[in-house]
Amino acid sequence: SLCKLWLVVDYLLCTSSVFNIVLISYDRFLSVTRALYLNANSAFVKCLNQLVCVAVLTERFPRC
């Protein structure tokens, strides 16, 4: 029913939001601790990897 679909979408979006916050925090940590080693040219690839990671984690570990 529509209610179950709403709950599934709600859980999915909340879980992906939590994983996004974790990855942003980890990215900030790496930016501070390894500032000289990080390459600005790899930012696009890193962003793409993080988006895929969030999608996979959201599918693997739903909140319900």
The average pLDDT across 44-56 equals: 80
Contact (CB, 8 A) for 5 and 53 = no
What pLDDT score was predicted for residue 41? 55
Domain boundaries, the chain: 2-59
b/e code 27-56 from CB counts within 10 Å (16+ = b):
eeeeeeeeeeeeeeeeeeeeeeebeeebee
**Does the pLDDT of residue 63 top 80, yes or no?**
no
The reply to whether the predicted model has a pTM over 0.75 is: no
Instruction: Give the chain's mean pLDDT.
Output: 78
**Does the pLDDT of residue 4 top 80, yes or no?**
yes
